[in-house]
Amino acid sequence: MQSAIDGLDEDLGVTAGPAAYGIAASLTDALVAGMRVFVSSRLRPPVPDDVLDRQPLRGAARNPVPPSLG
């Protein structure tokens, strides 16, 4: 199974106030065996503070894409 999440750096959350949380924080912290998640984001802003330390997104490999020349 594969999942793609585009524009994580644009995550503004799903609600406001003290109960607010971002889309990244709602991602599971335990992937099913063989599952792959592809995420696109700019380097800034960093992973949001509401994402748990054990969440795989915190330790994900970063593969920079060079700017387009077109």
Task: Return averaged pLDDT per consecutive 10 residues of the chain, 70 residues in all.
Answer: 82 72 80 84 80 85 82
pTM of the model: 0.62
Question: Per-residue b/e over 2-25, b at no fewer than 16 CB within 10 Å?
Answer: eeeeeebbebeeeeeeeeeebbbb
Domain boundaries, the chain: 1-63
Per-residue pLDDT, 15:
67
pLDDT at 19: 75
Give CA–CA dist 52/58, Å, rounded.
8
